[in-house]
Structure 1
Amino acid sequence: MIIPKSFSFTQFKNAAFITVESIDALKNQLQFCHHEKFTGQLNLQLQSLQEMWSLYFEKGYLIWATGGVHPVRCCYRQLLQCGLISPAPKDVTKDNLWSKDEALARLMQDQLPPNDMNSIVRGLIREILFDLYRQWARFPYSKLQMKFSYADEKFQPTVSGIPADEICLQALQDWRAWQQNGLAGYSPNQAALIWDAKGLQQQILPNTYQTLAAMLNGQQTLRDIAVQSNKSVLTLTKVLIPYIEQGLIKLAEIADLPLPRAPLLSQLTQPFSGSSFSSDSLAKMPLIAYVDDHEEDGQKMYEILSQLGYSCIHIQDPLQSLPLLLEHKPDLVFLDLVMPIINGYEVCAQIRRVSKFKDIPIIILTSSDGIVDRARAKFVGSTGFLAKPIKFHRVQAVLQKYLP
């Protein structure tokens, strides 16, 4: 979790949940935050994804952002663009990853010059919103769940605010330009690696190849490479796409960078004490999948699981349940019995046919808990039952039993 010290021990309270169905609705909510002078943390999560993003407001203005797949890389790039840190060595796993640990420590203490801090915050928010738009386009029928957590009276950040509508428009323009250039199927968070060196050398000049070979080592994302080459990520990716499509360069998923071991960081990167959605703890949370076409039940389950400290994906289309479960690999599945087109018994049987899900707990939810129902559920491989309506103590008991 990359959080300045002024946010690290803030208590958040009075959480409110809202679900929106479009980018325009999200923009309206951000404008509402501005008009109402909202102060606190706004967590965003698409129902079909485990990935989560957080925006922080003071009196209606955006002052920080974190989350997504690469929060450390994102901060690193912003520091690099401001000239506050040197490029990473080729071996990003070494402890000397950061040549200036004090730069990050100063960032975490809110001690950077105001102009630099403002540039860093703008860059963070712009990347995070771009990634959100891109993921939403991948799952167009997925709704965005928003959790507003109001800050207590001791919340005193030192970052100058940024108008939400301004940065939201910039990120949207970035995403539309990405789409219009035929790049919607690619992520700027993917790492680039030369896959066919001989074939690539035959198509480009020797000097150009040497430059690419130094950068395309599979340890830097397209965004990382763009910053180091002083180009926009759009321009860089457009140059590489012909070679990617020929199989000469390969794109692959890559992990986030480790935090540098600066002395102060163990104290400055503690997750928010009042929030269960920190990106650092998210990776450690068991992931629960809830397959149910009812939006209200999905929202209820989301709230309960969030309070219990679990990450949750809500799958509303049962026909898409198996591909999404394979993608996210949850630790437990709650499965509604009565759904259109295909019922819970059939979905359960499909899940059990996949070897990876042979032992995963599958809990069927139903308002009809009879002997015949239990027998049929056991026959298709269900682990247990949960009676509807959904209640906090019932969900908690199931999780304590199957995910001790």
Structure 2
Amino acid sequence: MQGNLNEIDLRSILQLIELGQRTGELYIEGTSLPTMTLEPQTELAQKFWYLFFANGQIIYAVDRSNQSLSRLQDYLQPYQDKQIVIEQLFQTETTSNIPEYSYLWCLLEKKFLTPTQGRKIIQKMVEETLFDLLGLMYGSFVFEMSSALAPQLTLLEITPLISKIQRQIQQWKQLYPHIQHPDQYLMITNAKKLRASIPEKAYQSLSRWSEQKITLRQLFRALNRDLLAIARVLYPYAERGWIQLISDLEPPKPQNFNNSKKQLHIACLDDDLTIGKSIEAILEQYPYQFTLITEPLKSFNQLFQNKPDLILCDIAMPKLDGYEVCAMLRQSKAFRQIPIIMLTGKEGLIDRVKARMVGATDYLTKPFGASELMLLLSKYTGSDITANIHPKI
């Protein structure tokens, strides 16, 4: 089952999964805009999510656009007495494609969390994800039947969750325009009036959150409170203009590449020498260091030696395909955060889903031109480059 969200909404998709008692994974790609109230010129990055099901119930949900463990760390804030042990645990390796879930289970197995605490965290994660997703108007989805995610800690019924989250979204919309989305943080604009109207302890907390740019999303996780409840507490002061909710959702401006002291290193893994040389010809016009690797089985030693800042990886290769290479690289801590862009001659959504599932950062469909390649490199390396148009390769 696959399609576009402008043809079938997410609620209907979830209900079909529930009615069919289906087990598998739902992949969704789109722009997170739960209330659809941001200004039109606001530019948001494309995001993608996974939802896991067993017999028509939700096991787990995650925003895979963010490869970090920040969400789990936020939810673990109330357990301050175990923070040292938790931080040590995060330094260990995991071979899972969904590290957040793997680390949570590790905490349970080591008895740093009780099953009740673990179930509560997963339910909050699922609700947070659905809050982001149920307002999506545009995007694409794929549902694939597969064996259930294991081990399972909890199963959540879909219909009650949908009803709960949709009520929250409707109430959230009433806070517009003063509060628009969970990734805003507060800025105090009239400290004198705000301080006079609330307890000193509350003011100090607000002041600290403002200085640290703590978002509403981070607050409701760490405080173990309802997102809507926190927003409602802040709303009267935002309405009076004493605080303002602002956002850093827009992508940060890239650093000036010409002033960068470090020469960025790009590695390309492709058994087609013609493609590799064409990419090298494009990159030699810019101050990039470039390494071409044509033997997949020899790629790991070369990549570990060269330690590139970004990897271009072809999908269709003999002996070891790009999906396998990417999955193996993501198991290493050294390559967990390195951007990996898959090069593919296929344009289907299934291939993009497979690339995302093994940890790919993005993909580039052949044939592509220099401008398309350089835009991706600029996006993921922070380099400010404008490329001339070259013939497609």
The bucket for the TM-score relative to the shorter chain is 0.5 to 0.7
Q: CA deviation at 1:26?
A: 1.7
Is contact 1:287-1:332 (8 Å) kept? no
Show the counterpart of 1:31: 15
Matched, 1:21 2:15: no
Map of 2:55 onto structure 1:
59
Percent of pairs with identical residues: 18
- Distance verdict in 2 for CA 1:160–1:228, change over 3 Å: closer
Give secondary structure in 2 for the equivalent of 1:384: coil
SS at match of 1:55: strand
| Match among 341, 362, 371 for residue 311 of structure 1 | 362
SS across alignment from 1:52: strand
Tell me the alpha carbon deviations over residues 308-335 of structure 1, each in whole angstroms, 9 at most, x when there is no partner.
Answer: 6563699xxxxxxxxxxxxxx95189xx
Contact 2:341 2:364 in 1 (8 A): no
Quick one: structure 1 residues 115 and 313, their matched pair in 2 at CA, closer, same or farther if it must change by over 3 Å? Answer: farther
**Distance change >3 Å, CA 169–CA 275, structure 1 → 2:** farther
- Mapping for residues 223-242 of structure 1, pairs under 5 Å: 223-229=217-223, 231-242=225-236
Q: Give, in whole Å, the separation in 1 of the partners of 2:246 and 2:145.
A: 40
Q: Secondary structure at the match of 2:183?
A: coil
2:203 corresponds to: 209
CA distance 1:303–1:181, change in 2 (3 Å): same
- Distance, in Å, in 1 between the alignment partners of 2:208 and 2:121 is 26
1:173-252 matched pairs, under 5 angstroms: 173-182=167-176, 186-194=180-188, 197=191, 200-201=194-195, 204=198, 206-229=200-223, 231-244=225-238, 246=241, 248-249=243-244, 251-252=246-247
Secondary structure of 1:225 counterpart: helix
Q: How has the CA–CA distance of structure 1 residues 223 and 18 changed in structure 2, closer, same or farther, with 3 Å as cutoff?
A: same
Counterpart Cα distance in 2 of 1:165 and 1:313:
38
Residue 386 of structure 2 corresponds to 358
Paired residue type of 1:162: L
**Closer, same or farther: CA 250–52 of 1 in aligned 2, 3 Å:** same
Cα distance in 2 for residues equivalent to 1:208 and 1:25: 41
Residues 243 and 148 from structure 1, CA distance in 2 versus in 1: closer, same or farther, beyond 3 angstroms? same
> Deviations 1:232-271 (Å, cap 9, x if unpaired)?
322322332454463644533389xxxxxxxxxxxxxxxx
Kindly provide the amino acid, as one letter, of the partner of residue 18 in structure 1.
Answer: G
Displacement after TM superposition at 1:67 (Å): 1.1
CA shift for structure 1 position 128: 0.7
1:53 Cα deviation (Å)?
A: 0.9
2:27 matched residue in structure 1: 43
C-alpha deviation, 1:108, in angstroms: 3.0
Q: CA deviation at 1:383?
A: 3.1
Q: Residues of 2 paired with 1:128 and 1:283: CA distance? A: 25
Deviation string 1:52-105 (CA, Å, 9 cap, x unpaired) is: 11111122221111116666343234444xx544598xxxxxxx6957859x88
* Matching residue's letter, 1:253: D
**RMSD of aligned alpha carbons:** 4.7
In structure 2, relative to structure 1, the CA distance for the partners of 1:219 and 1:358 (3 Å cut) is same
8 Å CA contact 2:23, 2:56 repeated in 1: yes
Q: Distance in 2 between matches of 1:40 and 1:275?
A: 22
Query: In structure 1, what is the equivalent of residue 142 of structure 2?
Result: 147
Q: If the length of structure 2 is used for normalisation, what is the TM-score?
A: 0.53
- Between the aligned partners of 2:338 and 2:63, the Cα distance in structure 1 is 11
Q: Taking structure 1 as reference, are residues 176 and 25 closer, same or farther at Cα in structure 2, changes over 3 Å only?
A: same
Length-normalised TM-score, structure 1: 0.52
The residue type equivalent to 2:9 in the other structure is A
One-letter identity of the residue aligned with 1:72: L
1:132 aligns with 2:133: yes
Question: How far is the alpha carbon of 1:215 from its aligned partner?
Answer: 3.5
Specify the alignment match of 1:4 in structure 2: none
CA distance in 1: counterparts of 2:189 and 2:85, whole angstroms: 25
Corresponding residue for residue 339 of structure 2:
284
**Equivalent residues in 2 for 1:42-121, closer than 5 Å:** 42-46=26-30, 49-67=45-63, 72-80=69-77, 84-85=79-80, 101=89, 107-109=104-106, 111=109, 112-121=113-122
The 1:305/1:44 distance shift into structure 2, 3 A limit, reads: closer
Instruction: Verify the 8 A CA contact 2:75 2:222 in the aligned structure 1.
Output: no
The Cα shift of 1:51 comes to 0.7
- Corresponding residue pairs, total: 271
Pairing 1:158–2:143 present: no
**Residues 247, 87 of structure 1: alpha-carbon distance in 2 compared, 3 angstrom cutoff:** farther
**By how many angstroms is 1:163 displaced?**
1.5
Distance (whole Å) between structure 2 residues aligned to residue 107 and residue 130 of structure 1:
22
Aligned-partner SS, 1:220: coil
Q: 3-state SS of the aligned residue for 1:217?
A: helix
1:44 CA displacement: 0.7
Match of 2:376 in 1: 331
Instruction: Name the CA distance, whole Å, in 1 between partners of 2:174 and 2:123.
Output: 23
**Per-residue Cα deviation, 1:137-187 (whole angstroms, up to 9, x for no partner):** xxx4x2x3112233358x542222112222222222221111123258622
Asked if structure 1 preserves the Cα contact closer than 8 Å seen for 2:188 and 2:242, the reply is: no
